[in-house]
Structure 1
Amino acid sequence: MEPVYLMKLANAHQNWLSVRENTIAQNVANANTPGYRAKDVESFTALFDKAHVRMASTQPGHMTAMNAATRSVDVEKKDSWDVTYSGNSVSLEQEMMKAGEVARDHTLTTNLIKSIHSMMLMAAKAQ
Protein backbone atom coordinates (compact mmCIF):
# COMPACT_ATOMS: atom_id res chain seq x y z
CA MET A 1 0.00 0.00 0.00
CA GLU A 2 1.37 3.39 -0.99
CA PRO A 3 1.57 6.13 1.64
CA VAL A 4 -0.89 9.02 1.46
CA TYR A 5 0.71 12.43 1.66
CA LEU A 6 -2.12 14.55 3.05
CA MET A 7 -0.02 17.69 3.48
CA LYS A 8 1.17 17.46 -0.13
CA LEU A 9 -2.40 16.98 -1.33
CA ALA A 10 -3.64 19.91 0.75
CA ASN A 11 -0.81 22.07 -0.61
CA ALA A 12 -1.74 21.12 -4.19
CA HIS A 13 -5.36 22.04 -3.46
CA GLN A 14 -4.30 25.43 -2.06
CA ASN A 15 -2.22 26.06 -5.20
CA TRP A 16 -5.20 25.15 -7.38
CA LEU A 17 -7.41 27.52 -5.37
CA SER A 18 -4.87 30.29 -5.95
CA VAL A 19 -5.00 29.72 -9.72
CA ARG A 20 -8.80 29.69 -9.69
CA GLU A 21 -8.94 32.87 -7.62
CA ASN A 22 -6.60 34.57 -10.11
CA THR A 23 -8.82 33.46 -13.03
CA ILE A 24 -11.92 34.82 -11.29
CA ALA A 25 -10.14 38.11 -10.65
CA GLN A 26 -9.22 38.36 -14.35
CA ASN A 27 -12.84 37.74 -15.31
CA VAL A 28 -14.04 40.48 -12.95
CA ALA A 29 -11.35 42.89 -14.15
CA ASN A 30 -12.46 42.34 -17.76
CA ALA A 31 -16.20 42.50 -17.05
CA ASN A 32 -16.58 45.57 -19.27
CA THR A 33 -14.10 44.56 -21.98
CA PRO A 34 -15.96 44.09 -25.29
CA GLY A 35 -15.75 40.53 -26.60
CA TYR A 36 -14.00 39.14 -23.50
CA ARG A 37 -14.86 35.49 -22.84
CA ALA A 38 -15.09 34.36 -19.23
CA LYS A 39 -12.68 31.60 -18.22
CA ASP A 40 -12.59 29.00 -15.49
CA VAL A 41 -10.03 26.38 -14.50
CA GLU A 42 -10.44 22.64 -14.70
CA SER A 43 -11.83 21.16 -11.50
CA PHE A 44 -9.40 19.91 -8.88
CA THR A 45 -11.10 16.53 -8.96
CA ALA A 46 -10.36 16.20 -12.68
CA LEU A 47 -6.74 17.18 -12.13
CA PHE A 48 -6.46 14.71 -9.26
CA ASP A 49 -7.91 11.95 -11.45
CA LYS A 50 -5.28 12.70 -14.12
CA ALA A 51 -2.55 12.18 -11.52
CA HIS A 52 -3.29 8.43 -11.64
CA VAL A 53 -3.75 8.15 -7.90
CA ARG A 54 -6.13 5.30 -7.32
CA MET A 55 -7.81 4.34 -4.10
CA ALA A 56 -6.72 0.96 -2.81
CA SER A 57 -9.36 -1.53 -1.79
CA THR A 58 -8.08 -3.99 0.78
CA GLN A 59 -11.47 -5.57 1.52
CA PRO A 60 -14.15 -6.65 -0.95
CA GLY A 61 -16.76 -4.56 0.92
CA HIS A 62 -14.94 -1.26 0.40
CA MET A 63 -16.74 1.44 -1.55
CA THR A 64 -15.31 2.60 -4.87
CA ALA A 65 -14.79 6.19 -5.91
CA MET A 66 -17.15 7.59 -8.51
CA ASN A 67 -15.82 9.46 -11.53
CA ALA A 68 -16.24 13.20 -11.23
CA ALA A 69 -17.39 15.36 -14.10
CA THR A 70 -14.68 17.45 -15.67
CA ARG A 71 -15.03 21.12 -16.44
CA SER A 72 -13.71 22.81 -19.52
CA VAL A 73 -11.23 25.66 -19.33
CA ASP A 74 -13.44 28.16 -21.19
CA VAL A 75 -16.92 28.97 -19.95
CA GLU A 76 -19.41 28.21 -22.68
CA LYS A 77 -22.07 30.75 -23.63
CA LYS A 78 -24.80 28.45 -22.31
CA ASP A 79 -22.99 28.25 -18.94
CA SER A 80 -22.89 32.00 -18.49
CA TRP A 81 -25.89 33.73 -16.96
CA ASP A 82 -25.93 36.74 -19.22
CA VAL A 83 -24.17 38.14 -22.23
CA THR A 84 -23.96 41.89 -22.68
CA TYR A 85 -24.47 43.66 -25.98
CA SER A 86 -20.67 43.88 -26.37
CA GLY A 87 -20.41 40.09 -26.54
CA ASN A 88 -18.83 39.86 -23.10
CA SER A 89 -19.74 36.63 -21.26
CA VAL A 90 -18.72 37.66 -17.73
CA SER A 91 -21.51 37.57 -15.15
CA LEU A 92 -20.37 39.43 -12.02
CA GLU A 93 -22.92 37.58 -9.87
CA GLN A 94 -21.61 34.23 -11.10
CA GLU A 95 -18.00 35.29 -10.53
CA MET A 96 -18.80 36.41 -6.97
CA MET A 97 -20.40 33.03 -6.27
CA LYS A 98 -17.23 31.33 -7.56
CA ALA A 99 -15.13 33.62 -5.34
CA GLY A 100 -17.24 32.55 -2.36
CA GLU A 101 -16.65 28.89 -3.23
CA VAL A 102 -12.90 29.53 -3.38
CA ALA A 103 -12.98 31.27 0.02
CA ARG A 104 -14.92 28.37 1.60
CA ASP A 105 -12.60 25.77 0.07
CA HIS A 106 -9.55 27.74 1.22
CA THR A 107 -10.88 27.87 4.78
CA LEU A 108 -11.72 24.15 4.73
CA THR A 109 -8.28 23.17 3.42
CA THR A 110 -6.53 25.47 5.91
CA ASN A 111 -8.47 23.92 8.79
CA LEU A 112 -7.61 20.45 7.48
CA ILE A 113 -3.91 21.36 7.45
CA LYS A 114 -4.18 22.66 11.02
CA SER A 115 -5.85 19.41 12.13
CA ILE A 116 -3.19 17.26 10.45
CA HIS A 117 -0.47 19.37 12.04
CA SER A 118 -2.08 18.99 15.49
CA MET A 119 -2.32 15.21 15.04
CA MET A 120 1.34 15.04 14.02
CA LEU A 121 2.34 17.04 17.10
CA MET A 122 0.28 14.79 19.38
CA ALA A 123 1.83 11.69 17.83
CA ALA A 124 5.32 13.13 18.29
CA LYS A 125 4.64 13.99 21.94
CA ALA A 126 3.26 10.53 22.66
CA GLN A 127 6.51 8.84 21.66
Structure 2
Amino acid sequence: MKLSGMSFFQLASQRMSWLGARQAVISENIANADTPNYRAKEISSFDRMVQARTPTQGLAVTDAQHIQTTASAPAGVRVEADDSAWESALDGNNVVLEQQTIKSAEVAGSYRLAAELYRKGHELLTVAVTGIR
Protein backbone atom coordinates (compact mmCIF):
# COMPACT_ATOMS: atom_id res chain seq x y z
CA MET A 1 0.00 0.00 0.00
CA LYS A 2 1.35 3.40 -0.95
CA LEU A 3 0.91 5.81 1.99
CA SER A 4 1.67 8.97 0.01
CA GLY A 5 -1.52 8.51 -2.05
CA MET A 6 -3.74 8.77 1.04
CA SER A 7 -4.82 12.37 1.61
CA PHE A 8 -3.86 12.50 5.31
CA PHE A 9 -0.31 11.35 4.64
CA GLN A 10 -0.01 13.56 1.58
CA LEU A 11 -1.17 16.60 3.54
CA ALA A 12 1.21 15.88 6.43
CA SER A 13 4.07 15.45 3.96
CA GLN A 14 3.21 18.71 2.20
CA ARG A 15 3.06 20.49 5.55
CA MET A 16 6.54 19.24 6.45
CA SER A 17 7.87 20.36 3.04
CA TRP A 18 6.33 23.81 3.55
CA LEU A 19 7.83 24.06 7.04
CA GLY A 20 11.23 23.08 5.63
CA ALA A 21 10.99 25.82 3.01
CA ARG A 22 9.97 28.34 5.68
CA GLN A 23 12.91 27.33 7.86
CA ALA A 24 15.27 27.79 4.88
CA VAL A 25 13.99 31.34 4.32
CA ILE A 26 14.33 32.15 8.03
CA SER A 27 17.91 30.81 7.91
CA GLU A 28 18.67 33.06 4.94
CA ASN A 29 17.26 36.03 6.83
CA ILE A 30 19.51 35.25 9.79
CA ALA A 31 22.54 34.73 7.53
CA ASN A 32 21.94 38.16 5.97
CA ALA A 33 21.24 39.98 9.25
CA ASP A 34 24.29 42.24 8.77
CA THR A 35 24.02 42.70 5.00
CA PRO A 36 23.22 46.33 4.10
CA ASN A 37 19.88 46.84 2.30
CA TYR A 38 18.82 43.22 2.79
CA ARG A 39 15.08 42.92 3.29
CA ALA A 40 13.67 40.06 5.38
CA LYS A 41 11.66 37.49 3.46
CA GLU A 42 8.77 35.19 4.30
CA ILE A 43 7.00 32.47 2.33
CA SER A 44 3.37 32.32 1.30
CA SER A 45 0.89 30.58 3.56
CA PHE A 46 0.42 26.83 3.64
CA ASP A 47 -3.11 27.27 2.32
CA ARG A 48 -1.78 29.01 -0.79
CA MET A 49 0.76 26.25 -1.34
CA VAL A 50 -1.88 23.51 -1.17
CA GLN A 51 -4.20 25.38 -3.54
CA ALA A 52 -1.48 26.36 -6.03
CA ARG A 53 -1.01 24.26 -9.12
CA THR A 54 2.03 25.84 -10.78
CA PRO A 55 5.58 25.74 -9.44
CA THR A 56 7.27 29.03 -8.64
CA GLN A 57 10.86 30.16 -8.53
CA GLY A 58 12.93 30.43 -5.38
CA LEU A 59 14.47 33.56 -3.97
CA ALA A 60 15.64 36.31 -6.27
CA VAL A 61 19.06 37.67 -5.42
CA THR A 62 18.88 41.45 -5.48
CA ASP A 63 22.51 41.97 -4.52
CA ALA A 64 25.62 39.88 -5.21
CA GLN A 65 26.52 40.05 -1.48
CA HIS A 66 23.30 38.33 -0.37
CA ILE A 67 23.70 34.75 0.80
CA GLN A 68 21.42 32.52 -1.25
CA THR A 69 20.31 28.99 -0.60
CA THR A 70 20.80 26.26 -3.17
CA ALA A 71 17.54 24.55 -2.20
CA SER A 72 14.42 25.37 -4.13
CA ALA A 73 11.02 25.93 -2.59
CA PRO A 74 8.28 23.31 -3.05
CA ALA A 75 5.75 23.85 -5.82
CA GLY A 76 3.24 26.55 -4.95
CA VAL A 77 5.45 28.32 -2.38
CA ARG A 78 6.22 31.96 -3.07
CA VAL A 79 8.98 33.84 -1.29
CA GLU A 80 7.87 37.39 -0.57
CA ALA A 81 9.08 40.42 1.32
CA ASP A 82 8.28 40.18 5.03
CA ASP A 83 5.99 43.10 5.80
CA SER A 84 5.82 42.17 9.48
CA ALA A 85 9.46 43.06 10.24
CA TRP A 86 9.68 44.81 13.58
CA GLU A 87 12.19 47.49 12.64
CA SER A 88 14.71 48.63 10.08
CA ALA A 89 18.33 49.59 10.64
CA LEU A 90 20.01 52.70 9.26
CA ASP A 91 21.73 50.59 6.58
CA GLY A 92 18.32 49.48 5.21
CA ASN A 93 18.40 45.97 6.67
CA ASN A 94 15.15 45.00 8.40
CA VAL A 95 16.11 41.57 9.81
CA VAL A 96 15.51 41.41 13.57
CA LEU A 97 17.24 38.35 15.01
CA GLU A 98 14.79 38.03 17.91
CA GLN A 99 11.84 37.94 15.49
CA GLN A 100 13.56 35.36 13.29
CA THR A 101 14.35 33.23 16.36
CA ILE A 102 10.68 33.26 17.38
CA LYS A 103 9.64 32.23 13.86
CA SER A 104 12.24 29.46 13.86
CA ALA A 105 10.91 28.10 17.17
CA GLU A 106 7.35 28.16 15.77
CA VAL A 107 8.49 26.19 12.73
CA ALA A 108 10.28 23.63 14.90
CA GLY A 109 7.18 23.09 17.03
CA SER A 110 4.92 22.81 13.99
CA TYR A 111 7.31 20.35 12.35
CA ARG A 112 7.34 18.15 15.46
CA LEU A 113 3.53 18.21 15.51
CA ALA A 114 3.24 17.27 11.81
CA ALA A 115 5.78 14.46 12.22
CA GLU A 116 3.94 13.13 15.27
CA LEU A 117 0.59 13.20 13.44
CA TYR A 118 2.18 11.35 10.53
CA ARG A 119 3.57 8.72 12.93
CA LYS A 120 0.24 8.33 14.75
CA GLY A 121 -1.57 7.92 11.43
CA HIS A 122 0.87 5.17 10.48
CA GLU A 123 0.31 3.45 13.84
CA LEU A 124 -3.46 3.66 13.36
CA LEU A 125 -3.17 2.07 9.92
CA THR A 126 -0.95 -0.68 11.32
CA VAL A 127 -3.49 -1.46 14.05
CA ALA A 128 -6.35 -1.43 11.54
CA VAL A 129 -4.57 -3.82 9.18
CA THR A 130 -2.94 -6.21 11.66
CA GLY A 131 -5.15 -5.80 14.72
CA ILE A 132 -1.98 -5.78 16.85
CA ARG A 133 -1.14 -2.82 19.04
The answer to whether TM tops 0.5 is: yes
| Cα displacement (A) at 1:72 | 7.3
Question: Which protein has the bigger strand share?
Answer: 2
SS at match of 1:73: strand
Corresponding position of 1:88: 93
2:93 is the counterpart of 1:97: no
**Letter matched to residue 81 of structure 1:** W
Shift of 1:23: 0.3
How many residues of Structure 1 are paired with residues of Structure 2 in the alignment? 104
- The answer to whether the aligner puts 1:35 opposite 2:37 as a matched pair is yes
For residues 41-120 of structure 1, the aligned pairs below 5 Å read: 41-50=43-52, 73-76=80-83, 79-120=84-125
Residue identity in the other structure for 1:38: A
Structure 2 runs not aligned, ≥5 long: 54-77
2:28 maps to 26
TM-fit CA distance, 1:46: 2.2
- Give TM-score scaled by structure 1 length: 0.75
SS of structure 1 residue aligned to 2:50 = helix
Among all aligned residue pairs of Structure 1 and Structure 2, give the percentage whose two residues are the same amino acid: 33
Name the SS of the counterpart of 1:82 in structure 2: coil
- Structure 1 window deviating more from structure 2 (19-28 vs 79-88): it is 79-88
Question: Which structure 1 residue ranges, 5 or more long, are not aligned?
Answer: 52-70
Q: Residues of 2 paired with 1:126 and 1:98: CA distance?
A: 41
Distance 1:21 1:111, change over 3 A: same
For 2:20 and 2:79, how far apart are their aligned partners in 1? 18
Larger Rg: 1
